[in-house]
Structure 1
Amino acid sequence: MNRNFAEFLLPDALMRGLEKEGFETPTEVQAQVIPAAMEGLDLLVSAATGSGKTAAFLLPIMERLVGAPRSDSGTRALVLVPTRELARQIHVHFTRLGSYTRLNNGVITGGDSKAHQIATLRKNPEILVATPGRMLELLEKGEADLSDLEILVLDEADRMLDMGFVDDVLTIIARTNPARQSMLFSATLHHRGLSRITEPLLREPRVLTINPVREQHPDITNQVILSDGPEHKQQQILWLLRNETYDKALVFTNTRDGATALGNVLMGEGQRVAVLHGELEQRERNRVVGLLHSGRVNVLIATDVAARGLDIPGVDRVINFDLPRSGDDYLHRTGRTGRAGEQGVAISLVAAAEWNRLESIERYLNLGIERRSIEGLKASYKGGTTKRSGAKKGAKKTGAKAVTAKAVAPKPKDRLRDRKNIGKRRLPKSPAASEIGVEAGHAPLGKRRTAQSQPKPEQGDGAKD
């Protein structure tokens, strides 16, 4: 679709902001969302990360507020996001695109000073970008008012559901102006809990599916390197960081302890590394991200807290030290590279215990991941799962074969009474005998066993029968 931003008839102040930021041709999501949003429609949008959706909803919001200024109202637009990092990224986008307008915005997130945020709210910024928890807290204390809200945007709604924000989001929606316009953006529209939000939020929405979440990103090369375990992975990742050509790299682990441990190892090897995880204070998180932005470090080791919302130019390498837990998490991690038409590489280090998860991710995303290896650091593990087929192939005389043989010809039990009666003539059993315990080796009723006559069980027998 060959379009340009002039076709949207945006105000001059916004066109100057676009020109200043080097925006020339709208992305696919911008080309479809901007005109629909400018019509005032409610939108339900599925768009992959890195597709340019932030500008897709910010430009229509700013166009509306610039074209119809109001001095007697409170907050006119609210953007809800799952993480502090994403809130700050949207704030940066707004500041750049709206640099020639007089619009104000505020950021309301957990981890920052409430007093400062209350002071921000009292200035009645036209646009708020907020995380659900802190926004609801200020609403309940009467410090925020959304009765004048004209536009409500939920960005990365699937992530908000995964993080347990659904009840907070529903409460916030209930406190907004019911006549508002609403837009919901999600990496996937198939999230099982999404309808809980869409039903109270949207009215006859237009559904737009752009760059479906499972569609392979054309600018990202996906690779997998087999590994024999954590220590082997450390050697492999050190080789990659020393020998591959890249500007900035993001390395993902599944736990904060894993991120810290890997950071210590790589720093000990002289790598310029910083670590980011959810337990850091907001000031420290800002400092760490700033180090990567400025180039003082070129490797950021992070948990999935950084998989959403981080938009750092120059990230051309994503490495999964731990394979992510789901296909969606894989997309959100790898989507930190290959942005804005740049080429990126995503490398996953996969041990034997992660193989089934890798195959599941490939099936879910319909993704072909290139296999590669590092000379001198090849894994002894060759991929795939071990199949127990010794009984059929005769390769191993192990448990599988024993079970098969047992099923064909059951081994008779070695019973104590059988050994005891060797050489003796068997008497026919009467029905009453089994009822009173003779079959089980007990003495008939009315007779007593002496210590001498009572047989001693051998090891492995006894009460088993």
Structure 2
Amino acid sequence: MNAHFSEFLLPDALLRGLASEGYETPTPVQSQVIPLAMDGADLLVSAATGSGKTAAFLLPIMQRFLAVPAHAGGTRALILLPTRELARQIYIHFMRLGSFTRLTAGVITGGESKAHQIATLRKNPEILVATPGRMLELLQSGQADLRDLEILVLDEADRMLDMGFADDVLAILGHCRPNRQSLLFSATLHHRGLKDITDRLLRDPQVLAINPVREQHPDIAHQLLLSDGLEHKQRQTLWLLQHETFEKALVFTNTRDGAVALGNFLMGQQQRVAVLHGELDQRERNRVMGLLHSGRVNILIATDLAARGLDVPGVQRVINFDLPRSGDDYLHRTGRTGRAGEQGVALSLVGKSEWNRMESIVRYLNLTAETRAIEGLKAKFQGPTKRKGPGKPTPAMRKARAAAEKPEAPKVKERLRDRKNIGKRRVPTSAHGVEAGHAPLAKRPGDPTKTGG
């Protein structure tokens, strides 16, 4: 690992930007990606959330554009992302790192004024940060032009595919300059739709697997808290928020209604809370995030909309009020804490119906999780009931076992005449062919077929 960013031979303006943001030692993903990206290689990178990949692709882009300025022309770099929130975070990151440069960037996302974005494009920013839907719309209308594109970045590529952006991304590639450098970042390289994108996007890429998605984050402590239901979870969450020390906390629910209900409960308990979910329009989302960034609220209740794309400094607690639906969702939620070397805690409230899913997540991610309890708020549910051993067999069990183990009687060979006589009454006979126990009877004259008198 490089000891300092200066070893990348970055221009002084970028080193000053890094220093102003407190960057000193590159993360593993930065150490591996930056030199290769500066050499112009196409890269396919698997890196976990919170690993520092934003700076890993921004710094090489900015270094190239400072070294070789373009005095005329259109967009030189396009960064595609799955969500509006993530696009805004990347733009803010760029503005901070580039605060001592004259490089320019613009944001193109849905939910914002199209007229304002067209005005941004007319200024020819060197870097565009965009979501696929709105970017494709502007390309098809002729308002955007990527013929001068030098670098294309797809960040959170697996998430883009999950959100149904595959066709939009492929259509955007058709508008890009073929002779370009491409970088793709994904939490996993095993997504079923990823190969279609990489085959079209990358040329002879170098593959880097850094901090694999299932590798436990060294700066996050994982905890479990057993719960007995909705109201019990609300009381436990309130206790945690009132008694634990943190700068900011994220609390995740699985549904919009659940987020609103929990937000209303906590607001009623005088907590500084805001709620973020998919039904909010862009202006309201921006307002909520502004409240969190400014510190006017220190608790954000969110659905999985916010599990990716949020890079909020100071998040020291992530609480899974509802257990996530998969191990990957668990990673994306908990990755909001423990960032940039800070210590974080991820705590999951686990009810009886969620126990098996929690066990699956722990196995899938190979997690080490501590089970804790809150005095006065302990759950009646204490984990699955242990199955009883076989114990001492009862007489009925011994009899049944003996019957099962008794060898079967040998089968008697069935003869043809026996099969013909099925259903007929059989009369036992002696060796002489008469009924057993009776003397032979005389025949009646003229009646050859009957016996008896």
The two structures have a TM-score, normalised by structure 2, of 0.85
Q: What does residue 282 of structure 2 align with? A: 282
Once the two structures are TM-superposed, the CA of residue 381 in structure 1 deviates from its matched residue by 1.2
Q: Kindly tell me: are residues 222 and 347 of structure 1, through their superposed partners in 2, closer, same or farther at Cα, counting changes over 3 Å?
A: same
The aligned residue for residue 214 of structure 2 is: 214
Taking the aligned partners of 1:123 and 1:245, their CA distance within structure 2 comes to 46
Asked if 2 retains the 8 angstrom alpha-carbon contact of 1:220 and 1:343, the reply is yes
- In the TM superposition, what is the alpha-carbon distance from 1:385 to its structure 2 partner? 6.6
Aligned amino acid, residue 226 of structure 2: L
Match for residue 306 of structure 2? 306
Matches within 5 A, 1:54-453: 54-384=54-384
Q: Residues 377 and 146 of structure 1: is their aligned pair in 2 closer, same or farther, counting only changes over 3 Å?
A: same
| Distance across 1 between alignment mates of 2:219 and 2:26 | 17
- Rounded Cα–Cα distance in structure 1 between residues aligned with 2:248 and 2:297: 8
Answer yes or no: is the 8 Å Cα contact 2:150–2:181 preserved in 1. yes
Task: Report the Cα distance in structure 2 between the residues aligned to 1:260 and 1:157, rounded to whole angstroms.
Answer: 30
Structure 1 stretches lacking a partner, 5+ long: 396-400, 409-427, 431-465
Question: Which is higher, the Rg of structure 1 or of structure 2?
Answer: 2
User: For the residues of structure 2 that align with 1:171 and 1:13, how far apart are their CA atoms?
Assistant: 36
C-alpha separation between the residues in 2 aligned to 1:21 and 1:319? 28
| Contact 1:88-1:107 at 8 Å conserved across structures | yes
1:381-426 per-position Cα deviation (integer Å, ceiling 9, x unaligned): 1113786x89x6699xxxxx9xx99xx9xxxxxxxxxxxxxxxxxx
Q: Where does residue 439 of structure 1 map in the other structure?
A: none
- Specify every segment of 5 or more residues in structure 2 that has no aligned partner in the other structure, as ranges: 405-421, 425-453
Deviation at 1:181, TM superposition (A): 0.3
Superposed CA deviations along residues 299-323 of structure 1, whole A, max 9, x for unmatched, are 1000011111111111100000000
In the TM superposition, 1:453-464 aligns within 5 A as: none
Contact 1:250 1:300 in 2 (8 A): yes
Name the CA distance, whole Å, in 2 between partners of 1:150 and 1:320: 41
TM-score by length of 1: 0.83
Q: What's the offset of the Cα at 1:356?
A: 1.3
Structure 2 counterpart SS, 1:40: coil
Q: Percent identity?
A: 75
Give the Cα separation in 1 of the matches to 2:392 and 2:187.
49
- Determine if contact 2:2/2:31 at 8 Å carries over to the other structure: no
In the comparison of the two structures, how many residue pairs are matched? Answer: 401
Distance in 1 (CA, whole Å) between partners of 2:297 and 2:96 is 25
Describe the shift of the 1:202–1:375 C-alpha distance in structure 2 as closer, same or farther (beyond 3 A): same
The answer on whether the counterparts of 1:158 and 1:186 sit within 8 Å (CA) in structure 2 is yes
Counterpart of 1:29 in structure 2 is: 29
| Offset, 1:3 | 2.1
Deviations 1:218-265 (A, max 9, x none): 111000111111111011111111111111110000111100010011
Q: 1:319-340 CA distances to partner (integer Å, 9 max, x unpaired)?
A: 0000011111111111111111
Query: For residues 100-150 of structure 1, what are the alpha-carbon distances to aligned partners after superposition, in whole Å with 9 as ceiling and x for unaligned?
Result: 211111000010000000111111111000001111111111111111111
Over 3 Å off, 4+ runs: 392-395
Q: Distance in 2 between matches of 1:167 and 1:386?
A: 50
Task: Report the 3-state secondary structure (helix = DSSP H, G, I; strand = E; otherwise coil) of the residue aligned with 2:207.
Answer: strand
Report if the CA contact (8 A) 1:3-1:31 is conserved.
no
Q: CA deviation at 1:94?
A: 0.7
Instruction: Tell me how large the CA RMSD over aligned residues is.
Output: 2.0
Following the alignment from structure 1 to structure 2, what is the Cα–Cα distance between the partners of residues 98 and 384?
54
Aligned equivalents of 2:54 and 2:179: distance in 1? Answer: 23
* Whole-angstrom distance in 1 between the partners of 2:287 and 2:280: 10
Local SS of the residue matching 2:192: coil
CA contact (8 A) 1:355 1:385 kept: no
Rounded to whole Å, the distance in 2 between the matches of 1:385 and 1:52 is 43
Please give the secondary structure, in 2, of the residue aligned with 1:377.
Answer: coil
Amino acid of the structure 2 residue aligned with 1:163: M
Provide the secondary structure at the position in 1 that maps to 2:339.
coil
Q: Which residue of 1 aligns with 2:447?
A: none
Cα gap change, 1:385/1:172 in structure 2, threshold over 3 Å: closer, same or farther? farther
Contact 1:44 1:183 (C-alpha < 8 Å) held by counterparts: yes
Cross-structure match for 2:433: none
| Amino acid across the alignment from 1:52 | G
Give me the whole-angstrom Cα distance separating, in 2, the residues matched to 1:394 and 1:296.
65
